[in-house]
Structure 1
């Protein structure tokens, strides 16, 4: 691939060029195109001529630059595909997923027709589309398509049974959120519907489920290989394995393997097996779990058994210049059960989305090695009461590159109490949390959460944590096929009477992307992250290109300080690009150049750092009630 041989700084120049070409047009009006969910050949959607002209001019300018015999011209010609496959003709305006088919509630489902499509060349919006290139046909021949039985097992409605409210839209969402499916549509055949019965058509499209990732350093010889199959033999079994080699650690290799079976026998029970063998972390675990996968789910729960050996970083003394570690080894048995209670509705056909949820949990932990005296064998009993209301929007270009995304909104409030019985001491636990999210097509997405939890032992409150978070994503701005969103994330974690060995970091997802230092730790942390992401119509070997700029700031209390704003904050600023093919199971390829004006003491970091990652920095928080638990502190 040309990408692997190009200089990283030149790649970033290309990304910066794309951003500069759009800078003069920020502030244009948003294009709103009606959504159509018809499984028929779609009419071509007309695009505003001014915006289309802008898009054509940008592409034409880049084409001309790629024809020049300069370094930048050769780079653009090797990187970019100026004739990518056309997007779906049916585009989607953000719409609330509710009451789409309320006129069909409680009708008898007469027939269910299921159409499963291969990964390449097909469309859930236009079922007449077929593969027309050699590579599309070759890719499909190497892929085992999802069986119709696996799709049927995900449906909440059955043949010859009444159609309950929300069954159609919730089934479509569950299919769309399945890892080996790219998209799904469920429609009612209005032409054959009667006053008491309906015919339902279900169409799904696979991704190419076999994939992986890897890395290799020419200077050190270190490498990593990951292989995964998300839909083994079309039966929705997920297998993943990772192997690292030539490591500068006591043992030069590390390995990990994971196996998952979803929805065993239409029960929505998932089985997970994990095996991790690293130098400083080892895990063997087995679990069976069933969550509140829909609004109407009555029962949820899980059983988990795990054996873990970990290396624990100990607190630093004032004169320490190197890190100190201790080992913690334990086995744990974890069981929980939840029950959802819905409110009565006297409006036939209307299903209230609010639920009262009761949950209980038992966690038994036994240690064979501990780094400090603050670890003890214990049994923790937890109980919780919560209120959840969930709704979903459908939109695109939030975290994906054009696929349909389900955006959760609603409210989740819970109160948790518990009692921990230990070999040395006993104590009580109290906690509460509140999450709220809203979404509007002209406003964007806004999420907020606040939580607090603490143990109480002998009238002393210990291991407390106050956690707050807010995320705002702007509406989508469009210029032809170019799309732009802004992301702002603010977080605060305040530790209260924590143990000395319990300290926070600001590394990567914990505060500043690309930052790495185990010497920078504290008990109270505040971070602010900003990103502007530009989705381009450019394509590299089927991988869509997006560029972004970001700025991160984090404050961290150190030593005995209680105010995290006392010291100068750590910062990072940067630019990067992402490549992703939505039809493949490969992770997003992301390359970032970051600038760090303040470096941590005794660190080998540099002012500028070029690094690669495959995970998104932002994500949605669902309003699905989960198991009762202790407030997180990490």
Structure 2
């Protein structure tokens, strides 16, 4: 190589290196200055630790208007949505907020309990955000005053999902009717291939009935969709749900009563239509073991033990002809009695831009380990069950979050394990990256599932959380499944009428091995695409998402490319300390 060629090569190399260096420098882990670039990432109890043990003298409830922001209290939102919200919205009644407090006046400050209470209030479906502020009292160093700031969501909302003009599903609701912490929801359906073409449904829910922390819901629908068969059914139901609202709470439980009946609304042949009806009763209750003794000695100890029992029964009054006396996970009469012992510790980071567009989200760090055992009966098959769930949550403090989970279980019958299962996975959210005014968050979910000696369980499908998003066919199934989901969200700085936007590319890969087949029979399925989400954080309207799907290999009857608009998108990270005892679920989150 002559000198001139070598010189050109070096110049070209420097040029390329400069491009990569500039690209690398343009992406930062820390924001630039200014209120628009603020980013929350802090342990939830940290702000309250200096007041630990001091007596609470007075608690004040302070509602915050839509034009104010917790991130910058001096700034005002002068958008049309904020002005309309302030004029039309009925704020949550102060006694409703006070009803959701489990910190009390004339009691000592427990930093963790204050953080738990702030998170509980913020988690109400009608709340945009909540902050609990502790103030020192001049001349009284042993006491403090507490202010509870709350900012509502505009409670009237709705959404729509459409597949062209052939099928339109819409709902309208008030998530905080009269500011009383109650929800009334109505939904309707038009489908030109349905007879009748119109459907309807609705429910009413009251949160925290009588300061018991029990949420009560009653509902009726003629268009409820069975997740296993995608058959529309008529359903009537009542649910009572009491979550473990804090590690310092003692009781949790729930009750569900319902009746379901399917009608052939789409004129399907009797040979393929699932005609069924059944009644169900499902109840569980649990108690935090040793909580009194544990908190009496040191109320900063967060490790807990929880014992729960559950009994449920499903009575089929009409079994689909194609099921008959064969085993099916839904369309068999079944009953069970299960007990579960859980060890857990969960604390939280307050952060942003996981599912929301700047609203405060609470992500756990800690562990949850549950052992479940009991007796399960399906048709005439009665079997003891044993299973375990383990979840580990962690964060480095840079704003990244990792959840590693393991589910395993099986039934014993005549000395062998039936419906043995194991599900191992990890979910990761990257640290927040900044590119100019754009925030970037990477999501990764990896899972492996194995089901063996299948008797009553459904096979592993890929049309669910552990497979390909948007894959609506049940034609791909097996007993070994490996899936990878990737998505990168770009939260844009700019707003339009109070709405923020986040475009995202995504890709999913799934390997599925047919039942009783060798690994070489494994099939690869993939999906990729992009989309955009938008949300006004002041509105209770769910996040609006338009997502494009492309399936390189699409099964018969399913389109290889489609675009779907949806509003049933979560906008906060959801987490429970305790769930009802259950057998391992392999096709749903």
TM-score tier (shorter): 0.7 to 0.9
**Where does 1:83-98 land on structure 2 (aligned, <5 Å)?**
87=36, 91-98=38-45
Contact (CA 8 Å) 1:388, 1:623: kept in 2 or not? no
Contact (CA 8 Å) 1:449, 1:469: kept in 2 or not? yes
* Aligned pair partner of 1:367 in 304, 307, 316: 316
Equivalent residue number for residue 514 of structure 2: 558
Question: Which segment is superposed worse, 479-488 or 515-524?
Answer: 515-524
Give the Cα separation in 2 of the matches to 1:190 and 1:480: 39
**Where does 1:109-128 land on structure 2 (aligned, <5 Å)?**
109-118=56-65, 120-125=66-71, 127=73
Contact (CA 8 Å) 2:404, 2:427: kept in 1 or not? yes
Q: How far 1:180 moved relative to its partner?
A: 1.0
Contact (CA 8 Å) 1:408, 1:621: kept in 2 or not? no
The answer to whether the aligner puts 1:291 opposite 2:243 as a matched pair is yes
Question: Which segment is superposed worse, 242-251 or 205-214?
Answer: 242-251
Equivalent residue number for residue 563 of structure 2: 610
Contact (CA 8 Å) 2:62, 2:150: kept in 1 or not? yes
Q: How far 1:461 moved relative to its partner?
A: 2.4
* Aligned pair partner of 2:524 in 569, 575, 584: 569
Question: Which segment is superposed worse, 370-379 or 550-559?
Answer: 370-379
Give the Cα separation in 1 of the matches to 2:540 and 2:448: 34
Given the superposition, is the C-alpha separation of residues 462 and 328 from structure 1 closer, same or farther in structure 2, using an over 3 Å criterion? farther
The answer to which structure has the higher strand fraction is 2
Given the superposition, is the C-alpha separation of residues 377 and 165 from structure 1 closer, same or farther in structure 2, using an over 3 Å criterion? same
Given the superposition, is the C-alpha separation of residues 174 and 391 from structure 1 closer, same or farther in structure 2, using an over 3 Å criterion? same
The CA deviation string for residues 424-478 of structure 1, in whole angstroms up to 9 with x for no partner, is: 2321111111100101233611111011122222334223321122111110011
Q: Does the residue aligned with 1:519 lie in a helix, a strand or coil?
A: coil
Give the Cα separation in 2 of the matches to 1:294 and 1:361: 21
Equivalent residue number for residue 255 of structure 2: 303
Given the superposition, is the C-alpha separation of residues 350 and 376 from structure 1 closer, same or farther in structure 2, using an over 3 Å criterion? closer
- Provide the aligned C-alpha RMSD in A: 3.0
Given the superposition, is the C-alpha separation of residues 553 and 617 from structure 1 closer, same or farther in structure 2, using an over 3 Å criterion? farther
Contact (CA 8 Å) 2:161, 2:566: kept in 1 or not? no
Task: Structure 1: give runs of 5+ residues left out of the alignment.
Answer: 1-20, 34-44, 48-85, 313-320
TM-score if structure 2 supplies the norm length? 0.86
The CA deviation string for residues 588-616 of structure 1, in whole angstroms up to 9 with x for no partner, is: 2212223222122x22413x322223355
Given the superposition, is the C-alpha separation of residues 184 and 249 from structure 1 closer, same or farther in structure 2, using an over 3 Å criterion? same
Give the Cα separation in 2 of the matches to 1:136 and 1:620: 25
The answer to whether the aligner puts 1:207 opposite 2:159 as a matched pair is no
Equivalent residue number for residue 516 of structure 1: 472
The CA deviation string for residues 280-321 of structure 1, in whole angstroms up to 9 with x for no partner, is: 323211121211111111111112211123589xxxxxxxx9
Given the superposition, is the C-alpha separation of residues 168 and 345 from structure 1 closer, same or farther in structure 2, using an over 3 Å criterion? same
Equivalent residue number for residue 544 of structure 1: 500
The CA deviation string for residues 58-112 of structure 1, in whole angstroms up to 9 with x for no partner, is: xxxxxxxxxxxxxxxxxxxxxxxxxxxx74x8x3441112353234334332111
Give the Cα separation in 2 of the matches to 1:477 and 1:360: 44
Give the Cα separation in 1 of the matches to 2:295 and 2:81: 56
The CA deviation string for residues 457-508 of structure 1, in whole angstroms up to 9 with x for no partner, is: 2334223321122111110011342111111111222222224782333225
Q: Does the residue aligned with 2:170 lie in a helix, a strand or coil?
A: strand
Give the Cα separation in 2 of the matches to 1:434 and 1:125: 36
Given the superposition, is the C-alpha separation of residues 379 and 178 from structure 1 closer, same or farther in structure 2, using an over 3 Å criterion? same
The answer to whether the aligner puts 1:441 opposite 2:397 as a matched pair is yes
The answer to whether the aligner puts 1:240 opposite 2:185 as a matched pair is yes
Give the Cα separation in 2 of the matches to 1:461 and 1:288: 35
Question: Which segment is superposed worse, 246-255 or 385-394?
Answer: 246-255
The answer to whether the aligner puts 1:427 opposite 2:380 as a matched pair is no
The answer to whether the aligner puts 1:173 opposite 2:122 as a matched pair is no
Give the Cα separation in 1 of the matches to 2:496 and 2:362: 27
Equivalent residue number for residue 503 of structure 1: 459
Question: Which segment is superposed worse, 143-152 or 424-433?
Answer: 424-433
The answer to whether the aligner puts 1:341 opposite 2:299 as a matched pair is no
* Aligned pair partner of 2:210 in 236, 249, 265: 265
* Aligned pair partner of 2:366 in 381, 401, 410: 410
The CA deviation string for residues 104-144 of structure 1, in whole angstroms up to 9 with x for no partner, is: 334332111111123x2122355555565666333321111
TM-score if structure 1 supplies the norm length? 0.80
Task: Structure 2: give runs of 5+ residues left out of the alignment.
Answer: 1-18, 224-230
Contact (CA 8 Å) 1:124, 1:203: kept in 2 or not? no
Q: How far 1:372 moved relative to its partner?
A: 3.1
Contact (CA 8 Å) 1:217, 1:223: kept in 2 or not? yes
- How many positions carry a matched residue from both structures? 550
Contact (CA 8 Å) 1:95, 1:395: kept in 2 or not? yes
**Where does 1:454-469 land on structure 2 (aligned, <5 Å)?**
454-469=410-425
Q: Does the residue aligned with 2:562 lie in a helix, a strand or coil?
A: strand
